[in-house]
Structure 1
Amino acid sequence: MTIPNLITLIRILLTPVLIWLLLDARLGEALAVFFVAGVTDGLDGFIARVFHQKSRLGAYLDPLADKLLLVSSFILLGHLDLLPDWLVIITVSRDALIVIGVLTLMFHQVPVAIHPSLLSKLTTLVQILTVMAILAAPYFSPLLWVTQGLISATAAFSVASGLHYIVYGLRLWDAARNGDKEQA
């Protein structure tokens, strides 16, 4: 177990705490927990790269931790009417599509390397910033256009990266099928 993997596990363990705080509408405390979780997201990747502690487990755990944290946040912020339903549907559908796609490819024994694209990393960053802005709104009164801009950016990046992963998955599928035909 590497240090980055332990940090990722902390993010996973913070998710139920965040859910509990959001269900109780304790936005200030939820903001603090989400901030710490967001910092761990950057910290685990930084340590893994700088200290050469990348691992196969980390390649699976890190995106799983992101999905748990962000999907939970978006669903609950939508439930609290702090995010528009359409944005919740876009972000959750994108993540569900990615998970279903990876599982489908694995089920059909198509090799899948878990390496988030730059577009996916930017999507995660914009989603994190959006959640933080929504949670911080009662305390820092961000300008409406900043929050609206983040919501629009989250939608655009989520759709773009979702389409990117669909294309990537179809390419993997085609390569595996064409490889099977060549071997037959």
Structure 2
Amino acid sequence: MQSCFFSTSRTTNDGSNETDQEGSNKLSKDKSIKKNLLHENIYTIPNFLTFTRLVSAPVVGYWVLQGNYTDASILFGIACVTDGLDGWIARRFNMQSIVGTIIDPMADKTLMTILTVTLAMQSLIPIPIAGIILGRDAGLILASFYYRYISLPEPKTFKRYWDFSIPSAEVRPTMISKVNTAIQMGYICLSLLAPVFDFTGHIGLDYLGYTCAATTIWSGASYVYTKDAVRILHPPSNIKK
């Protein structure tokens, strides 16, 4: 009778132990799961479109400072189109990625921040409103650095910190944040178009600016009080890092 302290095994035709083979296959499967979990494909069309929007931001800002509002408006319009297009492609062709949830709002905020600063420098946006917009964004950026660090799987190295193919946390925009983004884009877009179509200082634009400031403060607070705004990703406990 076999002892109950030993697992049963069978020797295959090539002399290898079947139990060892099963263990090896399980180990390979676990390694594959771990690799798929910690890394994802970031070289997708939606991420490329997002990157082009990120690169276009300083160009738009430069044209604003030069007073070339027409070209700045055209490039800003193209950036807005890519903002909607990359999301549609990602959903339609199943190209969503965790890194996309990070760099997409990053590209939007970079574009909006540069435009806010340059338009304020050109006196097309009141400085107090620009300060509220920039203050909220600065707070969110600092928070994103913090959450990236605490959620990054071990080892927490400098190289792995900036390797965005390793997802660690997922940002879920709140409803008021989405509303605020739309209002901000509308306000900044109209402020950019104002010198082109000569409606600078219109009272409707002023009221839109006040609304933008109010929703900006509200949306910033929503990330603090909404529990699922940021979701930290963890690998399964049975997968060793």
What TM-score comes out, normalization by structure 2 length?
0.65
Q: Which one of 208, 214, 217 corresponds to residue 150 of structure 1?
A: 208
Worse overlay, 17-26 or 70-79: 17-26
Structure 1 contact 102–112 (Cα < 8 Å) conserved? no
Give the letter for the 2:89 counterpart: I
Q: 1:170 to 1:53 in 2, by over 3 A?
A: closer
Q: Which one of 93, 96, 118 corresponds to residue 175 of structure 2?
A: 118
State the match for 1:128 in structure 2.
185
Structure 1 contact 101–169 (Cα < 8 Å) conserved? no
Q: Give identity over the alignment, percent.
A: 31
Q: What is the aligned residue count?
A: 174
* Rg comparison, structure with higher value: 2
Q: Which whole-Å CA distance do the structure 1 matches of 2:138 and 2:58 have between them?
A: 19
Give SS of 1:113's match. Answer: strand
Give the letter for the 2:123 counterpart: D
Worse overlay, 39-48 or 80-89: 39-48
Q: Structure 2: where are the runs of 5+ without partners?
A: 1-42, 153-167, 231-241
What TM-score comes out, normalization by structure 1 length?
0.84
CA-atom RMSD in angstroms: 2.4
Q: Which whole-Å CA distance do the structure 1 matches of 2:203 and 2:128 have between them?
A: 18
Q: Structure 1: where are the runs of 5+ without partners?
A: 173-184
Per-residue CA deviations over 1:34-82 (Å, capped at 9, x if unaligned) read 1111111122112222322111221111011011100110011111111
Shift of 1:166: 2.1
Per-residue CA deviations over 1:118-171 (Å, capped at 9, x if unaligned) read 222221111111111011112334582331232122112111100111223799
Is 2:205 aligned against 1:163? no
State the match for 1:74 in structure 2.
116
Larger fraction in helix? 1
Shift of 1:91: 0.5
Q: 1:149 to 1:109 in 2, by over 3 A?
A: same
